[in-house]
A and B are shown apart, each in its own frame.
Chain A
Amino acid sequence: MASLRSKFRPWFAARCAGLAGGFVLGIGLSYGQATNSCLECHSALPDSLGVTPELFSQDIHAQKGLTCVSCHGGDPASDDPDKSMGRKAGFKGNIERRQIPQLCGSCHSNPAYMRQYNPSLRTDQLEQYSTSMHGKRFAAGDTKVAVCTDCHSVHDLRAPGDPRSTVNPVNVAKTCSRCHSDADYMKPYSIPTDQFAKYNVSVHHSALAVRGDLSAPTCSTCHGNHGAAPPGIDKVQNVCSNCHTFQAQMYDKSSHKKAFQAASLPGCVVCHGNHGISHPTDAMLGTAPGGVCMRCHTPGDQCDQARAKILSGLTQLDGTIRSADQALRLAESSGMEVSEARLSQDQAQDSLTKARVTLHSFQTELVDRELQAGLKIAAANRQAGKDAMVERNRRRVGLGVSLIAIGIVLVGIWLCIKHIEE
């Protein structure tokens, strides 16, 4: 029988072990009350053979009305193990790994059949799988690669939209890492096992898992899910450009594109990495460690000069925005109202963002255009902050004048009193 993979999480363990019999559907919850001798026995069995009604009620197949019999065959009405798990009842027993894709595909690749349940579900998963790295190796006889149940779980299989599903975007990386981060398991294959670790410190991970932005990429976004395979060195840029269109457009008209293609370098990945993509900083344009340009370019050459120009431009705009922020903050704390300038600061920040995007064209004139626009706005805002302080000082002068006048009146009244009381 199939080997027990103890490494997998407990709720995974049940699927591979020898399961026999049927289930009682959704005990205590919402499902059919037909007798199910499968679950009656198997809910009491130990982990590898154990499937409880509570567990199975979470499964989407159970919720759609399928039962143990649908995949395993057998006769759930009978309590006699010989009858319920007998050949005559069509009992298949534990499904071998080699048979899993075919078994799942027997329904999921059948559009006419799937239409009854969810007409909008795709039915090409098996076809895609056969094009994937997993599928190709599987066809060649490797049973270590992922099959359907490895990623989707079994007996408590949830729809991808369910946040507890193993294939929900927020969980996908963890699911992939179960094999791909296991150095021992991955020994026969010559690929690294640090992707998950790297991804976890990446900006994409923090967008997805921390900030909850479901549009952020996870493993399957760039590699595909059923048709999972690396995109290919010369296709990396296409993948990134699906979201980062502007940068890709800039990169397209840049000198780097041709150069990287000619050298078979993987485009965006050269500077940004692939799995451990961290938030880019202006320091990447610098010469310190962390700077990417000087890895290839010669100090002093034309490109180095362009790099220095772009970097200094970005630094200047960033500095101007900050000093404008400071001036506005000072004005605000003195009670002056500068909300219009504050709003305009957003525009200046936008210009800075645009400049950082435009630098992917590696053309200094284009970058400079954005920088100049931003500098103008930021400088105007800084001026607004200063003007507010001038107005504040004017108010204080006005106050001073009126206080002097009040002081004169006080003195005058006092003298008046003195005079009257003589």
Chain B
Amino acid sequence: MSAAHLSQPGPPRRRFVEILLGGGLLATFVSFLYPVLRFLVPPAVPDLGGDEVVAGKTGEVKPNSGKIFRFGSRPGLLIMNSDGTYRAFSATCTHLGCTVQYREDLREIWCACHNGIYDLSGRNMSGPPPRPLDVFGVHLRGDEIVVSRQRGA
């Protein structure tokens, strides 16, 4: 489009086309640019890493108690021992897939479905479970309890 041509105010129909085109162009640019700009802003949850997740905050879990958290698409079990250290396991029972729980009275991990019992290392001790629970690594980052999958475990 030659600059000279368009700088002249033309007949009304011409103006209409100009406004239409200009408006349309602006609208389309906005509709292209807006998603891109929103895209560039990092979301609130910075990580959906398959390997790591924040299971909770220190202070949330009491000594000698457990908490179920989400790890990827499966549940996990976070336990705080009486001495203040943490352990984390996959909470999917290795027998038939029920979600296990921490039993404060037994100080063991228990599956309510068929009375399977795991010790605090995740080892299947009694009942039907054929395999130990997957053990996750736990470390603290500030006040966050970060649970990660063990490599090669």
Chain A interface (Cβ within 8 Å of chain B)? Answer: 213-216, 242-246, 339-340, 342-343, 346-347, 350, 353-354, 357, 398, 401-402, 405-406, 408-409, 411-413, 415-416, 419-420
Contacts and interface: CB of A to CB of B under 8 A. Distances in A.
Interface stretch (B13-21, B57-65, B81-89, B139-147): B13-21
B28 A405 contact: yes
Interface string B1-37: 1000000000000100100111111011001000000
A411 B24 CA distance: 9
B93 to A, nearest CB: 11
Given A215-B95, A350-B98, 7 more contacts: A213-B95, A213-B96, A213-B130, A245-B115, A246-B112, A402-B28, A415-B17
Contacts of A412: 17, 20-22, 24-25
A212 to B, nearest CB: 10
A215 to B, nearest CB: 3
A385 B25 CA distance: 36
A399 to B, nearest CB: 9
A293 to B, nearest CB: 24
Contact of B130 (A215, A245, A347): A215
A419 B17 contact: yes
**Of B17, B22, B96, B130, most A-chain CB atoms within 10 Å:** B17
Interface residues of B, number: 28
Contact of B25 (A215, A343, A402, A409): A409
Interface string B48-92: 000000000000000000000010011100000000000000000
B27 A405 contact: yes
Chain A contact residues, majority secondary structure: helix
Contacts of B73: 339, 342-343
Interface of B: 1, 14, 17, 20-25, 27-28, 31, 70, 73-75, 95-96, 98-99, 112-115, 127-130
Nearest to A243: B114
Contact of B28 (A350, A398, A406): A406
A402 B31 contact: yes
A358 to B, nearest CB: 11
Contacts of B22: 412
Given A215-B128, A343-B70, A346-B99, A416 B28 contact: no
Contacts of B31: 398, 401-402, 405
B115 A416 contact: no
Contact of B17 (A243, A353, A416): A416
Given A350-B98, A353-B113, A243 B1 contact: no
B130 A214 contact: yes
Contacts of B115: 242-246
Contacts of A342: 73
A206 to B, nearest CB: 13
A347 B97 CA distance: 12
Contact of B99 (A213, A340, A350): A350
B132 to A, nearest CB: 15
A171 B5 CA distance: 95
B113 A411 contact: no
A215 B124 CA distance: 13
Contacts of A409: 21, 24-25, 27-28
